[in-house]
Amino acid sequence: MFENEKRAKYLGYMVVLASWLAVFCLFGYRATFSVLQGPMAKDLGWSASKLTLGYSLMMSVYAVTAFFSGMMIDKWGTKPAYFLGAISGALGFLITSFAKTYMSYLLPYAIFAGIGTGMLWVSSTVSVRKWYVGKAYATMWGIAFMGAPVAQVVLSLGAKQVLVTMDWRFAMRILSLVVFTALIIATIVAKKNPANYGFEPFGLDTLKSKQSNVNDREWSIKQAFSTFPIWGAIIAFLTSMVAEFLVWTQIVKYWTTDCNLSLSTATNLYVVIGIAGIFTMPFMGVVADKLVGRIKNETKARKFMIIFAPVTGVIACLVLMIGKGAAFLSMVSCIIFAVYWAIEPGGVAGYAASVYGNKTFGKIWGLSTLIVMGIGPAFGSFMGAYLYDMSGSYFNSLKFATVSFLVSAIVALLLPLSIDKSKEA
């Protein structure tokens, strides 16, 4: 019995390690684009909008791929997804590094990077959820999600150092090797679902018997998406993503344009979000799981957290606007944003999984990701730039983000605690 428990813990830790590496590579792609964009524009003579189109198309391919990766995970686990991510993700950087014409940049970056990153998000979130439920989930997901801020700090700063002496092409080739190595390791250490080894998810004993039975139910896409909870979760997540990506893409420009900070100072402030995230990810995971233990109802606890997360987003935006570039208030807003970031993505997934169970959650969350990530990042980034173009100030962009966060909190407040008893909300 003791040996089985020890083996189950080891397998679970390997799942978290693989997810950490996957999240590291996924957010590494996002973090390094902003660093490489300037040198690429200077070398190739392309406008920022032409280069950004490649990133936007990559995110579209990412969203579509995420849906198919979810179905793959339900059947075969994460190993195939991580392996395809390793090949495609590495090729995305490698082939793009040889680009001389616009199409030789656009196609490989959008297709290979899109497929590569699309294999990573759903696989990392769902695999952790399949192994850890109840008051065990958020802590372990917080550890896995810590790969995101580590990537934001390490890879973005690392790419900057390379660019001091080398060009963007060499930096991309190094990043190609980093992505390939990390995801091959993830492929090797990744494990199938606990049932394949004769184990149950950790934390199952902390759920009510009714919630435990949910894990055994098989859902078709049509069945799941004909109910309100998944659509409520999608809308709550989508409105937060619109606000989040508006902030991520425009915050540095806000500091340099509206607050007259130097690019170096603004970039250093932005890195504070990543540094803070390294600590907020695991800490807020522990907080969320303690709430599950205290309330003894996972769905109710996850719902509370995804109401709280966008509220922190509202507060962070307000502090950012009030601070007007003041160092202390800017850093405070970054730390609050890191708290939001630590809760929202995993929190929404946790809520949805607590309602629909783990058995077919991969395809449910895959389609949800397709909808959210297919719309949110592009729309949020566009609105941030559009409102600036219309007014000449990023204050209106931040006001829009504030309202979007607020809508997310209101929608989360309306989420039911079960499919057939929405009155429990």
Whether the CB-CB separation of 125 and 23 falls below 8 Å is answered with no
The answer for residues whose C-beta is within 8 angstroms of residue 186's C-beta and 6 or more apart is 17, 18, 19, 21, 22, 78, 82, 85, 86
Token look-up 């995971």 returns: 285
> Residue 327 carries which side chain, given as an amino acid letter?
A
Token look-up 């169970």 returns: 357
Torsion of CA 245, 247, 249, 250, to 10 degrees: 150
Mean pLDDT, all residues of the chain = 89
**Could you write out the DSSP letters of every residue in 32-87?**
HHHHHHHHHHHHH---HHHHHHHHHHHHHHHHHHHHHHHHHHHHH-SHHHHHHHHH
DSSP 394: S
Note the pLDDT of residue 353: 92
Please write the tens of the pLDDT for every residue from 131-175. Answer: 998 888 999 999 999 999 999 888 877 777 777 778 889 889 999
**What are residue 202's DSSP bridge partners?**
132
Q: Which CATH number applies to 203-415?
A: 1.20.1250.20
Residue 388 pLDDT > 90? no
Note the pLDDT of residue 301: 95
- Nearest-angstrom CA–CA distance, 263 and 111: 31
Domain 1-195: state its class: mainly alpha
> Residue 122 carries which side chain, given as an amino acid letter?
V
- Nearest-angstrom CA–CA distance, 292 and 299: 8
141: nearest Cα among 29, 267, 289, 324? 289
Mean of the pLDDT values across residues 71-90? 91
Token look-up 């999608």 returns: 234
Note the pLDDT of residue 47: 78
Q: Give me the half-sphere count of Cα atoms (radius 13 Å) on the Cβ side of residue 14.
A: 18
- Nearest-angstrom CA–CA distance, 230 and 241: 16
Note the pLDDT of residue 421: 53
Q: CA 376 → CA 107, 156, 241, 277, distances in Å? A: 22, 23, 5, 21
Best-predicted range by mean pLDDT (150-154, 177-181, 249-253, 370-374): 177-181
Note the pLDDT of residue 422: 46
Note the pLDDT of residue 19: 96
Note the pLDDT of residue 215: 55
Listed range (43-52, 62-71, 189-198, 231-240) with the worst mean pLDDT: 43-52
Residues of the chain with CATH 1.20.1250.20: 1-195, 203-415
What backbone torsions phi and psi does residue 159 show, to the nearest 5 degrees?
Answer: -65, -40
Residue 425 pLDDT > 50? no
Q: Give me the half-sphere count of Cα atoms (radius 13 Å) on the Cβ side of residue 171.
A: 24
SS3 content of the chain, % helix, strand, coil (to 5): 85, 0, 15
223: nearest Cα among 393, 387, 367? 367
Q: How many CB atoms lie within 10 A of CB 197?
A: 12
Q: If pLDDT is split at 50, 70 and 90, which confidence band does 110 have?
A: very high
Listed range (1-15, 154-168, 265-279) with the worst mean pLDDT: 154-168
Residue 116 pLDDT > 90? yes
Note the pLDDT of residue 358: 83
The enclosing H or E element of 214 equals helix 209-214
